[in-house]
């Protein structure tokens, strides 16, 4: 019998009525002759509510206790879904990550799944039950409860699909699939029918929050096909799968943006070997992830080094760098949090030229200044002032013909 994993996000289980709809959909799948594992997020904005409560008590709470708290949201939704399925006359059981042994490392609030124990889930499936698993949570080797980072239920679902060798992992959400850009920003954004793992990975890393990055990494590694679709209708959504030659025909598949980074500049860095290494190893030692980097060397032998970090880490990075700048005789350290990164993504870029030029020209035509640029094999990104984010996204979406192209 074929096995399917179905994951429903927060908006899909936002109230009792929606949970009943999910129950109906899951039961329909079961009645069509398939085994079903369901993964749920917490109801609506429950995780935000819990996080805000913690912040009220302590802005920097113990991460172990934060995971203990945040993991409760999913326990509510899974038990309610089991009850809703029972009410339809079917057998179902809900389980926490702990109960089905989703084993992670010990990085509280951003744990990585190490392995999943298939036995318990298999026993329940063998008894013809629908198995419901709490998303976003696991346990480490010391039996501590961990969480997988925001959006982590996607990763739970795909890890289960990989371990249990499911035919497909369906990700049900509040939009009809993966769009050419965030449909909340550009109403003309179009649903993509099919996208490669690499393109989805880039889009997710560059800001499209529709799938958690790690979930796509998992799917690519284990070859799990993902079907992102709406929980409110039956339309075909977006298939995320292995690249094929037809995908190269589309040069730009989508546009992403990220407003969560900050730009740091260290002025007048003496131009001598070892200083850049010193700066970035100091930042890395504080566990701060650096994204884009540029260095401008002037004729006076002094360089300005500019780089971006997550906005949430920018104050800490400033404190560290101010200290380092004094010790090493560097100039002033500046921070700009009002920036956004715009990116265009597509595997077709590997074999087509001119994408960067077109991107820069389109932004220039709107009077948008580019502060930083970076490229990968299948993406080009520009940092601009955050007040131009929406205009920039719309401009690039139109310039690359995304509203009308086929996929």
Residues of this chain that interact with Mg ion (CB under 5 A) are 9, 151
Q: Which is nearer to ligand ASP, 138 or 152 (CB)?
A: 152
Please report whether residue 184 would count as binding ligand ADP according to CB under 6 A. yes
Q: How far apart are the first and last CA of the chain?
A: 32
Q: Which does 304 bind (CB under 5 to 8 A by kind): Mg ion, ligand ADP, ligand ASP, none?
A: none
Please report whether residue 151 would count as binding ligand ADP according to CB under 6 A. yes
Q: Which does 135 bind (CB under 5 to 8 A by kind): ligand ASP, Mg ion, ligand ADP, none?
A: ligand ASP
Q: Which is nearer to ligand ASP, 41 or 265 (CB)?
A: 41
Helix (H), strand (E) at residue 292:
none
Residues forming the site for ligand ASP (CB under 6 A): 9-10, 41-42, 47, 73, 135-136, 150-154
Which of 312, 354, 308 lies closest to 334, judged by CA? 308
The pairs formed by 28-33 with CB atoms below 8 angstroms and a separation of 24 or more are 29/4, 30/90, 30/130, 33/1, 33/2
Place of tokens 């004729």: 299
Taking CB under 6 A as the criterion, which residues in 50-109 touch ligand ADP? none
Q: How many residues sit close enough to ligand ADP to count as binding (CB under 6 A)? A: 19
- Nearest-Å Rg of the Cα atoms of the chain is 23
C-alpha distances in Å from residue 247, one per residue of 193, 253, 402, 405:
11, 9, 15, 13
Please report whether residue 269 would count as binding ligand ADP according to CB under 6 A. no
Q: How far is the CB of 42 from Mg ion (least distance, A)?
A: 11
Among 95, 108, 179, 197, which residue sits at the site for ligand ADP (rule: CB under 6 A)? 179
Q: Confirm if 392 and 340 have CB atoms less than 8 A apart.
A: yes
Which of 146, 154, 153 lies closest to 66, judged by CA? 146
Q: Which is nearer to Mg ion, 230 or 337 (CB)?
A: 230
Residue 11 CB burial class (10 angstroms; 0-12, 13-18, ≥19): middle
Among 209, 242, 352, 387, which residue sits at the site for ligand ADP (rule: CB under 6 A)? 209
Q: Which is nearer to ligand ASP, 72 or 99 (CB)?
A: 72
User: What does DSSP assign to residue 368?
Assistant: P
Tokens representing residue 10 in the block = 């927060």
Q: What share of the chain is helix, strand, coil (3-state, %, to 5)?
A: 40, 25, 35
Please report whether residue 41 would count as binding ligand ADP according to CB under 6 A. yes
Q: How far is the CB of 134 from ligand ASP (least distance, A)?
A: 10
Q: How far is the CB of 86 from ligand ADP (least distance, A)?
A: 24
Q: How far is the CB of 220 from ligand ADP (least distance, A)?
A: 18
Please report whether residue 381 would count as binding ligand ADP according to CB under 6 A. no
Q: Confirm if 109 and 66 have CB atoms less than 8 A apart.
A: yes
Q: How far is the CB of 81 from Mg ion (least distance, A)?
A: 17
Q: Which is nearer to ligand ADP, 44 or 283 (CB)?
A: 44
Q: What angle do CA 338, 339, 341 make, to 5 degrees?
A: 160
Q: Which is nearer to ligand ASP, 136 or 218 (CB)?
A: 136
Point out which residues bind ligand ADP (CB under 6 A): 9-12, 41, 151, 173-175, 178-179, 181-184, 208-210, 254
């Amino acid at each position: 019998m074929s096995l399917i994993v179905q994951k429903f996000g927060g908006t899909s289980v936002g109230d009792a009525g929606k949970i009943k709809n999910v129950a109906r959909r899951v039961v329909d799948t079961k009645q069509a002759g398939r085994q079903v594992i369901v993964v749920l997020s917490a109801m609506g904005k429950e995780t935000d509510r819990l996080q805000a409560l913690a912040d009220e008590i302590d802005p920097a709470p113990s991460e172990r206790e934060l995971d203990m708290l945040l993991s409760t949201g999913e326990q509510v939704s899974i038990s309610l879904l089991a009850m809703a399925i029972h009410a339809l006359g079917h057998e179902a059981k809900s389980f926490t990550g702990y109960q089905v042994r989703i084993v992670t490392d010990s990085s509280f609030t951003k744990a990585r799944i190490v392995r999943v124990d298939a036995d318990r889930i298999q026993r329940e499936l063998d008894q013809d039950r629908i198995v419901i698993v709490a998303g976003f949570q696991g346990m480490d080797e010391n039996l501590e409860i961990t969480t997988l980072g925001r959006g982590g239920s996607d990763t739970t679902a795909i890890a289960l699909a990989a371990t249990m060798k499911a035919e497909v992992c369906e990700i049900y959400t509040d939009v009809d699939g993966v769009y050419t850009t965030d449909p909340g920003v550009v109403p003309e954004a179009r649903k993509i029918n099919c996208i490669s793992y690499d393109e989805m990975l880039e889009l997710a890393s560059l800001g499209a929050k529709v799938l958690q990055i790690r979930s796509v990494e998992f799917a690519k590694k284990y070859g799990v096909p993902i079907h992102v679709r709406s929980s409110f209708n039956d339309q075909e959504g977006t298939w995320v799968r292995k690249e094929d030659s037809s995908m190269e025909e589309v040069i730009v598949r989508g546009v992403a943006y990220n407003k969560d980074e900050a730009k740091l500049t260290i002025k007048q860095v003496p131009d001598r070997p070892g200083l850049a290494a010193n700066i970035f190893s100091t930042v890395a030692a504080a566990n701060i992830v650096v994204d884009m980097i540029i260095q401008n060397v002037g004729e006076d032998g002094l360089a300005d080094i500019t780089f971006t970090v997550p906005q949430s880490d920018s104050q800490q990075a400033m404190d560290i760098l101010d200290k380092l700048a004094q010790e090493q005789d560097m100039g002033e350290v500046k921070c700009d949090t009002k920036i956004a990164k715009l990116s265009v993504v597509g595997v077709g870029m590997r074999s087509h030229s001119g994408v960067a030029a077109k991107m820069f020209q389109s932004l220039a035509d709107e009077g948008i200044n580019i502060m930083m640029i970076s490229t990968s094999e299948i993406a080009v990104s520009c940092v601009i002032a955050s007040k131009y984010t929406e205009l920039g996204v719309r401009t690039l979406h139109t310039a690359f013909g995304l509203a009308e192209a086929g996929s």
